[in-house]
Amino acid sequence: MKLNISGKTRKVLLPLAFVLASFLSYAGEILPVPTAVMITKNLNYRKHKVKLFTATDNKTILFTVDGTQGQRYTLFIFDLEGKLITQTTIQNRETSVLPEICAGAYLYEVLSSDKKVENGQLKIQ
């Protein structure tokens, strides 16, 4: 049996074939579930746009600030008992990759020149 598949249909079927092959490769096993990261922000200064977000793998957390030119920003992440888990410092418009953090609830603060720019909660599942 010979099928004629148009270019437009091929563009749809080929990615679908890869997805199905991925599901089949996990036959009999549980599919891996990406880590969920939820962020609740308390905005303190509108001129500093703080972004905490995940990379495409949904595991790696990235930190960037679009604010004042030449300004340094420090991100602190604490557990709920107040213990410092990690910290990183970046310049305006730089992006930092945070080390892998265990699942749980955390608090974060972003400071610039000893002034709180933003704080909030970070929940990793």
Is 78 part of a structural domain of the chain?
A: yes
At 15, which helix (H) or strand (E)? helix 7-25
Residue type, 51: K
Q: Are strands 95-97 and 61-66 parallel, antiparallel or unpaired?
A: antiparallel
Provide the 3-class DSSP secondary structure of residue 113: coil
* Count of the separate structural domains present in the chain: 1
Q: Structure pTM?
A: 0.69
Is 28 part of a structural domain of the chain?
A: no
Is 95 part of a structural domain of the chain?
A: yes
Local confidence band at 35 (pLDDT 50, 70, 90 cut-offs)? low
Is 68 part of a structural domain of the chain?
A: yes
Is 26 part of a structural domain of the chain?
A: no
Is 3 part of a structural domain of the chain?
A: no
Q: In this structure, are residues 71 and 114 in contact, taking their beta carbons and an 8 Å threshold?
A: no
Residue numbers of the domain that contains 41 = 37-124
Q: Give me the CATH number covering residue 84.
A: 2.60.40.3080
What is the Cα–Cα distance from 96 to 98, expressed in whole angstroms? 6
pLDDT in tens, 79-92: 999 999 999 999 99
Is 14 part of a structural domain of the chain?
A: no
Is 22 part of a structural domain of the chain?
A: no
